[in-house]
Amino acid sequence: MCDSCGCHVPDQEKSTMTVDVNTSLLEANTRQAAENRRHFDAMGALVINLISSPGSGKTTLLEHTIEKLGQEMRIGVIEGDIETERDAARIRAKGAAAVQITTGGACHLDARLVHKGLHDLRQESDSDRFDIIFIENVGNLVCPATFDLGEHERMVLVSVPEGSDKPAKYPKAFTSSQHFLITKTDLLPHFDFSLAEARREALKLNPDLAILEFSATTGEGFDAWISYLRQRRIP
Amino acid sequence: MCDSCGCHVPDQEKSTMTVDVNTSLLEANTRQAAENRRHFDAMGALVINLISSPGSGKTTLLEHTIEKLGQEMRIGVIEGDIETERDAARIRAKGAAAVQITTGGACHLDARLVHKGLHDLRQESDSDRFDIIFIENVGNLVCPATFDLGEHERMVLVSVPEGSDKPAKYPKAFTSSQHFLITKTDLLPHFDFSLAEARREALKLNPDLAILEFSATTGEGFDAWISYLRQRRIP
């Protein structure tokens, strides 16, 4: 499990037993993720898993998305955080259904937690009908990349203040995602962030990545984003 | 191990065996950390473990510190990253000794990796004599908080773009640190970051935290920082 999420197991302590436990836990997660995906498909919901460091703008992206699409689509959000209910409160304030999963120390969501979150979301909204469900993972660019949650699409966010070297330094989030969202682009003049480097390094890791640039301040990128979500919505 | 680093072990899969493995791995880390601390003490080196999300400014803080103190103190840096040698190259360019540990997927340093890093640092610099050794942990605000590396002081960094809600959302890094460094304060006018909230939430978690504010752009905070390091230097 620790190897699977990227946590280091000291060599001398590695044993067949540890590896067996790790493998078994990761296999259990994969089975649960497949079950989640069947649930999501049965509901007709497109499910998107958002992965990034703390403060990259996941919640802000969701707030703007709900403002723009909340009238025409039913949007639900499963929020993952180590502590606090703040992000779910921000989402509910925009009028979407949201449940908060606090992992109590765990550095990522797993498929079982999301399964519980889905049931809570149905209960909170008194409905089975969602067009899109966003899963906002725990703020962490490392561990969440290893865990399939049953999502249809995975998106990794990096904000301009974090630096354009992040794809090369945290590769798994990029090799396992379909989209790379570069956020806070209005700050490009103030930071030594190279869009060319970020794009080049990300595409070197994963040539199929779709790359979008966003600014919640100027509105850059939101038209393309909203069009994309409309087009991907399951009819 | 997964519980110990904060990774979630699904409840159904938890077993005495898993718990035993976890406990044994964390105990092994604690033993190795105590050995590291004896090494550091014997060398007369003050050792500081820096923990933050990716892009909070750990490497930049070290670059400025070496510029200001490199002539009067012997500084060594153990760099932890998942991939790439970039940070060690940045430190060496400032004239300090640096070794890079690439964890190959692991989301934090552990005491064994740091022990190896210390040997590499001695070999690279052909010396046992360091006044300060900085350990720059893997960019991750979660998992590194659980692992004692044998350091004398632990410091957690949050940059203004990340948001002032981070102490409440990622408490363990704050309860286990002695210092909280707020970086990129020149950006305060451009972000909805409340210094009062960040300080209040951090001190609620850990009333003994010393809080410093930094800007590598304006130089804010560096005089106090350099004075602190001079005073803490082991005579």
A contact test, residue of B7, B140, B182 with most A CBs within 10 A: B7
- Strands across the sheet with A75-81, in order? A97-102, A75-81, A132-136, A46-51, A153-159, A179-183, A210-213
Cβ contact B7–A170 (<8 Å):
no
Evaluate whether B127 touches A28 at the Cβ level (below 8 Å).
Answer: no
Confidence tier at A10 by pLDDT (50, 70, 90):
very low
Cα distances (Å, whole numbers) of residue B216 to A109, A159, B188: 35, 19, 13
Is a pLDDT exceeding 80 seen at residue A20?
no
By percentage, how much of chain A surpasses pLDDT 70?
Answer: 91
**Interface contact flag, A170 B24, Cβ < 8 Å:** no
* pLDDT one-digit tens code per residue, B108-136: 999 999 999 999 999 988 888 999 999 99
Interchain CB distance below 8 Å, A82 and B142:
yes
Answer whether residue B59 shows pLDDT above 60.
yes
Cα–Cα distance measured from residue A185 to residue B48, given in angstroms and rounded to the nearest whole number: 33
For the residues B32-55, what does the mean pLDDT come to?
96
The Cβ of residue B95 has, within 10 Å, a number of other Cβ atoms equal to: 12
Strand ranges, E, within B61-215: 75-81, 97-102, 132-136, 153-159, 179-183, 210-213
In this prediction, residue B70 carries a pLDDT of 95
Q: Do A163 and B54 touch (CB under 8 A)?
A: yes
H or E segment to which residue B20 belongs: helix B16-43
pLDDT confidence of residue B21: 62
- Per-residue confidence (pLDDT) for residue A19, from 0 to 100: 54
Minimal Cβ distance to A54: which of B13, B103, B162: B162
Query: For residue B67, is pLDDT > 60?
Result: yes
Taking CB atoms and an 8 Å limit, are A161 and B161 in contact across chains? yes
What pLDDT, on a 0 to 100 scale, did the predictor assign at position A211? 98
* CA distance linking residue B92 with residue A147, whole number of Å: 36
The answer to whether residue A53 scores a pLDDT higher than 50 is yes
Q: State whether A110 and B10 contact (CB < 8 Å).
A: yes
Round to whole Å and give the CA distance between B161 and B181. 14
On chain A, the residues whose CB falls within 8 A of the CB of B107 are 5-8, 107, 140, 142-143
CA distance B232 to chain A (A): 30
Pair B73, B65: CB distance under 8 Å: no
Kindly report the nearest CA distance between residue B73 and chain A, in angstroms. 29
CA angle A197, B52, B196 (to 5 degrees): 115
How confident is the model over B186-228, as pLDDT tens digits?
A: 999 989 999 999 999 999 999 999 999 999 999 999 999 999 9
Contact A166 B55 (CB under 8 A): yes
Q: Which of B10, B143, B159 sits opposite A29 (nearest CB)?
A: B10
Q: What's residue B18's pLDDT?
A: 52
pLDDT over 70 at B10, yes or no: no
pLDDT at residue number A17: 52
Which residues in chain A have their CB less than 8 angstroms from residue B25's CB? 2, 9-10, 13, 18
In percent, how much of chain A has pLDDT > 90?
Answer: 83
**Distance, CA of A29 to chain centre:** 17
Q: Do B55 and A162 touch (CB under 8 A)?
A: yes
Q: Is the separation of the CB atoms in A1 and A21 below 8 Å?
A: yes
- For residue B94, is pLDDT > 80? yes
Residues 6+ apart with CB under 8 A from A222: A64, A68, A214
Average pLDDT over residues A75-87: 95
CA distance A221 to A215: 7
* pLDDT recorded at residue B174: 98
| Helix orientation angle between B86-93 and B58-69, rounded to the nearest 10 degrees | 20
Average pLDDT of every residue of chain B: 91
Place of tokens 């014997």: B42
How far apart are alpha carbons A62 and A70 in whole angstroms?
Answer: 10
